[in-house]
């Protein structure tokens, strides 16, 4: 995480105690008022029918957040798409393509039924990860997901479009809204950007059909129940499920071979990540018993340079570490030769439900089968 982002989060959380912190928070609060007015005005346009929504010639499921930061959207989208494939449907993933070289140039197909078409530099990290881990499933990027959805349906044969990070994408009609709330920081300090981490007021949760509390294992059962009650207070009709992100595999980045998870307990490792919430990755490593000597945090979606990884390699050598352990999302941006001579392991994670999975799956199937 870069210095600016770290400083902002600490300020928003109230952790910064310097003399200037109070005035700075007051300034951020003023900006939040302006931001909130714009967001609420825009949303009101749709609620009042002044702005129109457009439909697609297929079913549409959205997975999104009410806060910024890492709630586990990519892992959830992957779980959902795999379920849809198991049910005999033909899903496509529509992503905004954050930090993609191609995002501003219209609709781009990252992968189709025949395989991957765009490399990570052009696609961005999350679409590339989804394309690699969902073989045969179309993944498209573009600012206008109405346009990318039409391409997915008409050119690639999709009959369900899964929107990645689209709770605030209001121009498109959706058949199902799934919202993720991270147990680590459920409501972004209760304030709108930039004073807090909320993308819109909490009453926006009323639009959700289902809420998945991710990283639910971070909380004791009583705290989880309290969080569920808070969500129900905003939206009593929404189905609520709880899930955790669990390690499923460790692989060697250079060879792709599976490595026993116990390897992480041998020697000291450098945890390298560029995530919205790097703490969740580091916590998972510690729960696995990994000896994490240090963490190298880069800004979310950071495009690694050869110089970045040279510095990482030098740190591993200088501190006598066993190697680097990183995430799937980061691994797609790290050419193995750039870490030549340094062991690099990639931790893969999957979604595991603690409660509500059957109800969620029933809701999804009913919405997708409805006329």
pLDDT tens for 309-333 read 999 999 999 999 999 999 999 999 9
Residues 51, 64: contact at Cβ < 8 Å?
no
Domain assignment of residue 92, yes or no: yes
Check whether residue 150 and residue 292 sit in a common domain. Answer: no
Check whether residue 234 and residue 303 sit in a common domain. Answer: no
Q: Which residue has the tokens 């979310």?
A: 300
Q: Is the dihedral of CA 134, 140, 145, 146 positive or negative?
A: negative
Q: Report DSSP state, residue 219.
A: S
Count of the separate structural domains present in the chain: 3
Per-residue model confidence (pLDDT) at position 69:
79
Tell me the average pLDDT across 22-33. 96
More confident residue, 203 or 103: 203
Check whether residue 273 and residue 198 sit in a common domain. Answer: no
Check whether residue 227 and residue 254 sit in a common domain. Answer: no
Check whether residue 121 and residue 224 sit in a common domain. Answer: yes
Q: Does residue 10 register a pLDDT over 90?
A: no
95 backbone φψ class: left, alpha, beta (φ>0; ψ -120 to 50): beta
Q: What is the pLDDT of residues 138-178, one digit of tens each?
A: 999 999 999 999 999 999 999 999 999 999 999 999 999 99
Per-residue model confidence (pLDDT) at position 23:
95
Domain assignment of residue 52, yes or no: no
Name the least confident of 85-94, 134-143, 155-164, 295-304. 295-304
C-alpha to C-alpha distance for 168 and 345, rounded to whole angstroms: 35
Per-residue model confidence (pLDDT) at position 277:
83
C-alpha to C-alpha distance for 259 and 249, rounded to whole angstroms: 8
Per-residue model confidence (pLDDT) at position 77:
98
For residue 34, what are the CA distances in angstroms to 38, 41, 200, 202, 253? 6, 11, 12, 17, 45
CATH number at residue 273: 3.40.50
Q: How high does pLDDT run on average in the chain? A: 94
Q: Does residue 104 register a pLDDT over 80?
A: no
Check whether residue 169 and residue 317 sit in a common domain. Answer: no
Per-residue model confidence (pLDDT) at position 4:
80
Q: Does residue 105 register a pLDDT over 60?
A: no
Check whether residue 213 and residue 356 sit in a common domain. Answer: yes
Beta strand 91-95 with 139-141: parallel, antiparallel or unpaired? parallel
**Number of other residues whose CB lies within 10 A of the CB of residue 323:** 20
Q: Does residue 217 register a pLDDT over 60?
A: yes
Domain assignment of residue 54, yes or no: no
Give CB contacts under 8 A, 24+ apart, made by 276-283.
Answer: 276/68, 276/69, 276/70, 276/71, 276/300, 277/69, 277/70, 277/71, 277/182, 277/184, 277/185, 278/1, 278/70, 279/184, 280/70, 280/72, 280/182, 280/184, 280/215, 280/245, 281/327, 281/347, 283/218
The pTM score is 0.93
Check whether residue 171 and residue 125 sit in a common domain. Answer: yes
Domain assignment of residue 226, yes or no: yes
Name the least confident of 25-29, 65-69, 81-85, 88-92. 65-69
Q: Does residue 70 register a pLDDT over 90?
A: no
Domain assignment of residue 53, yes or no: no
Domain assignment of residue 342, yes or no: yes
Q: What is the pLDDT of residues 260-276, one digit of tens each?
A: 999 999 999 999 999 88
Domain assignment of residue 291, yes or no: yes
The boundaries of the domain holding residue 74 are 59-244+352-369
For residue 89, what are the CA distances in angstroms to 60, 92, 137, 159, 177? 12, 10, 11, 7, 18
Domain assignment of residue 155, yes or no: yes
Per-residue model confidence (pLDDT) at position 141:
97
Q: Percent of the chain, pLDDT > 90? A: 89
For residue 4, give every residue at least 6 positions away whose Cβ sits within 8 Å of its Cβ, in sequence order, or none: none
Check whether residue 215 and residue 114 sit in a common domain. Answer: yes
Check whether residue 85 and residue 186 sit in a common domain. Answer: yes
Check whether residue 156 and residue 208 sit in a common domain. Answer: yes
Check whether residue 217 and residue 250 sit in a common domain. Answer: no
For residue 320, give the nearest of 305, 342, 346 by alpha carbon: 342
pLDDT band at 63 (very low <50, low <70, confident <90, very high): very high
Tell me the average pLDDT across 195-210. 97
């Amino acid at each position: 995480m870069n210095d600016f982002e770290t400083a902002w989060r600490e300020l928003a959380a109230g952790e910064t105690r310097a003399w200037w912190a109070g005035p700075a928070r007051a300034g951020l609060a003023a900006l939040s008022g302006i931001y909130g007015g714009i967001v609420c005005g825009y949303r009101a346009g749709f609620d009042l029918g002044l702005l129109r929504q457009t439909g697609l010639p297929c079913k549409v499921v959205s997975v999104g957040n009410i806060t910024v930061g890492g709630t586990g959207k990519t892992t959830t989208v992957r779980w959902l798409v795999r379920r849809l494939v198991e049910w005999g449907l033909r899903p496509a993933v529509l992503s905004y393509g954050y930090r993609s070289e191609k995002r501003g140039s219209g609709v781009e197909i990252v992968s189709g039924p025949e395989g991957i078409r765009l490399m990570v530099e052009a696609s961005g990290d999350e679409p590339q990860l989804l394309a690699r881990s969902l073989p045969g499933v179309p993944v498209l990027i573009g600012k206008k997901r109405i346009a990318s959805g039409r391409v997915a349906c008409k050119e690639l044969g999709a009959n369900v479009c899964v929107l990645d990070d689209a709770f605030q994408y209001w121009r498109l009609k959706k058949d199902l809204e799934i919202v993720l709330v991270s147990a680590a920081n459920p409501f972004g300090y209760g304030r709108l950007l930039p004073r807090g981490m909320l993308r819109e007021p909490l009453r926006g949760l009323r639009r959700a059909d289902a809420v998945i509390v991710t990283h639910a294992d971070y909380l004791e059962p009583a705290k989880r129940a309290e969080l569920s009650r808070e969500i129900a207070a905003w939206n009593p009709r929404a189905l609520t499920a709880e899930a955790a992100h669990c390690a499923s595999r460790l692989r060697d980045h250079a060879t792709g071979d599976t490595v026993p998870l116990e390897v992480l307990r041998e020697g000291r490792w450098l945890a390298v990540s560029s995530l919205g919430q790097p703490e969740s990755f580091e916590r998972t490593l510690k729960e696995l018993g990994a000896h994490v000597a240090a963490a190298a945090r880069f800004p979310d979606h950071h495009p690694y340079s050869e110089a970045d990884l040279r510095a990482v390699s030098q740190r591993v050598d200088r501190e006598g570490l066993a190697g680097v352990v990183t995430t799937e999302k980061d691994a797609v941006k790290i050419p193995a030769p750039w870490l030549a001579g340094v062991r690099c392991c990639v931790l893969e994670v999957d979604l595991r439900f603690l409660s509500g999975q059957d109800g969620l799956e029933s809701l999804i199937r009913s919405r997708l089968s409805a006329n």
